[in-house]
Amino acid sequence: MKALVIIPAYNEAGNIIKTVEDIKKNAPSFDYVIINDCSKDDTMRLCERMKYNVVNMPLNSGIGAAVQCGYLYAKRYGYDYAVQVDGDGQHEACFLEEMLHIMEKEKMNMLIGSRFIENLGFQSSYLRRIGIKWFSFLIKCYTGETITDPTSGMRMAGRDIINFFAEEYPKDYPEPETAIALLKLGYTVKEIPVQMKKREEGKSSISFKRSIYYMFKVTIACCMAGVGYKKYEKEDFEDKYFKGAL
């Protein structure tokens, strides 16, 4: 059984060491890979000096492409589980072991770390919480399932999902959209409570101006995913990509 932590990093020189050391210390059964999305700061040199396991992308291609690269890595190197942890130090590694344990025990396809089950730790701003509620509502409408924290980046995927994400992953802000797609395709998605921290250095990728674009884009993407995937397509999809590719 192999498990991988995917750390997408873009200009995270201030956070990356803390994040990786946290994972090494608190999640020892995980391997990790940093996907350096062509950072303009010292991220790359820092990773090389510290001898971290890093994949450098030759061109900046956005968070979605970087994370997908991580899933591709997981697929190529035959990992059974992959979890995404943001390079900004928001996610705490101590929850990863627990997530892995639950994943193994309860055979599910994806496990999301949710901030809003126990409502502990950093709870995000009021406006963002409204946005998150809205996406929860959308997911409920389209799939009937309750996902309390659809924008959480801390998501652990099993093998099927790794293969799925390696082929199909949105370019930016993928979380709510992929949750709907996976549920529609008939995969099981569950949540466990986690705590997150406020980011310490660097900027969030979602500024105020961006957040308007974010709301529009993700809402439309959710609607598309809601009508775009049907259960019976799962087999088609698996035929098309996995059996041919592997």
Partner 1 sequence: MTGRLQFLIAVVTLIALIYVANKVRKRVIELKYALVWFLVTFLLFIMDLFPDTLGDMARFLGISLPINMLILFGFGFVLLILYTFTIVITNQDRRIKRLIQEVSILNYRIDELENALRKEDIKVKKIKTRTADEGPEHKVKVEKQEKFKLLEEE
Residues near partner 1 (CB under 8 A) are 35-36, 38, 40, 44, 54-59, 61, 65, 68-69, 72-73, 76, 171
Centre a 10 Å sphere on the Cβ of residue 40 and count the other Cβ atoms it contains. 10
Minimum CB separation from partner 1 for residue 241, in Å? 12
Report how far residue 142's alpha carbon sits from residue 180's, in angstroms, rounded to the nearest whole number. 7
Tell me 144's DSSP state: S
CB closer to partner 1 out of 73 and 116: 73
- Give, for 55, the enclosing helix (H) or strand (E): strand 54-56
Structure tokens at 186: 């008939």
Minimum CB separation from partner 1 for residue 6, in Å? 13
Minimum CB separation from partner 1 for residue 35, in Å? 8
CB closer to partner 1 out of 38 and 94: 38
CB closer to partner 1 out of 56 and 195: 56
CB of 14 closer than 8 Å to CB of 202: yes
CB closer to partner 1 out of 45 and 231: 45
Centroid of chain to Cα 101: 18
* Strands 110-114 and 155-157, bridge-based pairing: antiparallel
Report how far residue 91's alpha carbon sits from residue 149's, in angstroms, rounded to the nearest whole number. 14
Minimum CB separation from partner 1 for residue 51, in Å? 10
Minimum CB separation from partner 1 for residue 73, in Å? 6
CB closer to partner 1 out of 64 and 89: 64
36 backbone dihedrals φ, ψ, rounded to 5°: -85, 110
Minimum CB separation from partner 1 for residue 16, in Å? 16
CB closer to partner 1 out of 69 and 93: 69
Q: What is the dihedral sign for C-alpha 86, 214, 199, 101? A: negative
Half-sphere exposure of 181 (CA within 13 A, CB side): 19
